[in-house]
Amino acid sequence: MKEKTETREGWVWPIDDVSCWKYMMSHPDLPSLVSSHVPNKKVCVQAGGNMGYYVKQYAELFENVYTFEPDPINFYCLNQNIQHENVFKYQACLGYDRSLVNLKIKTLNRGKNYVNGVGKIPTLRIDDLNLTTCDLIHLDIEGFEFFALQGAVNTIKNCKPVVALEFFNKCATRFNYTINDLEKLLSTLDYKLLKTYEEERIYVPKSYN
């Protein structure tokens, strides 16, 4: 994997990626914006981990971070960039069905990789972590957010975390659901929309003050 990466401003990064790097550099404060709505900062679950740019910030804000990144090259970079003892890294997808999946790789923008059919990459549920504390779930997984939430229902019910999601209609359409389906699920869990930052949507329990 090393030969497929380079160092940019101190970060190990895929040589072919252009757009993901530009996005991260132009949105450096997203974790702090999201975290400003999180009262307690013990545990964060984050995906996709990508090359670790946002993971590092969450590691400095939270006591423990669980991050998921399925792409082998991205995961290699993540491991090179993030060696914090409070970060637990999984080379896996998040979803509901515990199945093996394939990724569609977007080489020029490796932040836009998405689940595409059957393959060799394991899919885990957030509930599989059996967390007794979870303060934030932040998902940017190119349309698979709905299924990751389905796999986090018990965690959400038990821990009442703030939930942050990236949402694009085209990504949801890829997996045959809508924003109404997603928000109906969250509503059944007694969640409401609190804030948006461009495509990022922040949901909190309806009792949130």
pLDDT at 209: 77
Give the predicted TM-score (pTM) of the model: 0.97
Domain range enclosing 136: 2-205
Identify the CA nearest to 88 among candidates 49, 125, 40.
49
Q: Which residues contact 186 (CB under 8 A, 6 or more apart)?
A: 149, 163, 192, 203
Taking the C-alpha atoms of residue 82 and residue 89, their distance in angstroms, rounded to an integer, is 9
pLDDT at 51: 98
Taking the C-alpha atoms of residue 188 and residue 28, their distance in angstroms, rounded to an integer, is 33
Q: Please give the DSSP secondary-structure letter assigned to residue 125.
A: -
127: domain CATH number is 3.40.50.150
Over the stretch 2-44, which tens digit does the pLDDT of each residue have?
889 999 999 999 999 999 999 999 999 999 999 999 999 999 9
Please give the tally of structural domains in the chain. 1
**Residues of the chain where predicted confidence (pLDDT) is lower than 50:** none
Give the sign of the dihedral formed by CA 68, CA 72, CA 74, CA 76. positive
pLDDT at 1: 83
pLDDT at 183: 97
Structure tokens given for 53? 């740019």
Taking the C-alpha atoms of residue 144 and residue 7, their distance in angstroms, rounded to an integer, is 30
